[in-house]
Chain A
Amino acid sequence: QKEVEQNSGPLSVPEGAIASLNCTYSDRGSQSFFWYRQYSGKSPELIMSIYSNGDKEDGRFTAQLNKASQYVSLLIRDSQPSDSATYLCAGGRNNFNKFYFGSGTKLNVKP
């Protein structure tokens, strides 16, 4: 079992739709969770961090965390073609101990 699991996709959504990306983790001691966006040939860039159960919103992005279900998700509202990228979920304990990335979900936003 991988520490952080994601569906590899690709996930295809039309422009303007909501994209929903999901992630599960195995370590119940994990406390910090992150979503990164990675364009092809580029390094990961942070979109959102979330530490507490519930929702966290930042512009068009909403991260959701459910520690009981060991589940993290990212919603992208009003998806744009420029959102087309691979989205990496990552999680770990404090100070990035036991910190793991998922393999990423490829998102395609069609004009």
Chain B
Amino acid sequence: EAGVAQSPRYKIIEKRQSVAFWCNPISGHATLYWYQQILGQGPKLLIQFQNNGVVDDSQLPKDRFSAERLKGVDSTLKIQPAKLEDSAVYLCASSSLAGDTDTQYFGPGTRLTVL
């Protein structure tokens, strides 16, 4: 079974530039998550999709961050414009929500550096 795919793996941009990250979840997983992990901290949930609908985006800075999952499969997270404090690893995860076997599977992450 293929895992969660993310691209790019690394990205360096200057502040005020825009950047986009892509995620393809495990086949058949209805739920997709985007997390931000700042160095030394635990992952923070930015947005959770169930199929192509948003379940929770309460911690998404909506003035600069946006995300979509148009066909209920892959997803894109965008930052526009980026700030220095956006430097972090952006993790995508997916889960099937199959009762007691709920497990989030994480992708390798995208490391963003904002200069």
Contact = CB atoms under 8 A, between A and B. Distances in A.
Q: Do A and B associate with each other?
A: yes
Contact of A44 (B31, B48, B100, B106): B106
A5 B30 CA distance: 29
A49 B33 contact: no
Contacts, number: 51
In this complex, which of B31, B42, B95 has the most chain A Cβ atoms within 10 angstroms of its Cβ?
A: B42
A102 B41 CA distance: 8
A104 B108 contact: no
Interface string A72-111: 0000000000000000101000011111111110000000
Question: Which of A45, A95, A102 has the most chain B CB within a 10 Å cutoff?
Answer: A95
A69 interface: no
Contacts of A49: 102-103
Interface residues of A, number: 23
Contacts of B105: 46
A100 B43 CA distance: 8
A32 interface: yes
A1 interface: no
B35 to A, nearest CB: 8
Contacts of A95: 31, 55, 97, 102
Interface string B27-68: 000010101000011111100100000011000000000000
B104 interface: yes
Given A96-B31, A96-B33, A96-B48, A101 B103 contact: no
A95 B95 CA distance: 9
7 contacts: A43-B91, A49-B103, A95-B55, A96-B97, A96-B104, A100-B45, A101-B44
Query: Shortest 5 CB-CB distances between A and B: which pairs?
Result: A101-B42, A43-B106, A103-B42, A101-B43, A43-B109
